[in-house]
Amino acid sequence: MDIWQYIAEEQIPLPNLYFSHRRLCVQRNGIWLAHSHFLPLKPNEAPIEKTVRFRTIGDMTSTGATESEAATLEDIIREIATSRQTERGGRADDKRSETSMEDRKKEGYF
């Protein structure tokens, strides 16, 4: 929350992915992922157009979208203030194991 409030106060420009927009998504393991050629569809999957935003930006095959109408920084701040999901809560790779982030650090991912 502090970071988002700082961004608003300093009027720091952000990429549009942080703001809500219509996008084709695929639900996989309870997470909405952006539909793309990098994410081959499984037999039971079909892209669905949703209004989403990305709370974090990373690898599009593992960064989940959040259903959201937050189109402004003020909207995002209000949404975060009432959310029960952490900022990384939509990351598919974090669902693999409790130590997935630490495992990637050891592998030199960061």
The alpha carbons of the chain give a radius of gyration, in whole angstroms, of 15
The number of distinct structural domains making up the chain is: 1
- pLDDT value for 87: 52
- The boundaries of the domain holding residue 30 are 2-106
Quick: pLDDT tens for 51-103: 999 888 888 888 899 999 999 999 999 998 987 665 555 555 554 555 665 66
Residue 38: both structure tokens together:
């990098």
Residue that the structure tokens 């990373």 belong to: 58
Half-sphere exposure of 20 (CA within 13 A, CB side): 16
Report d(CA 42, CA 34) in Å as an integer: 14
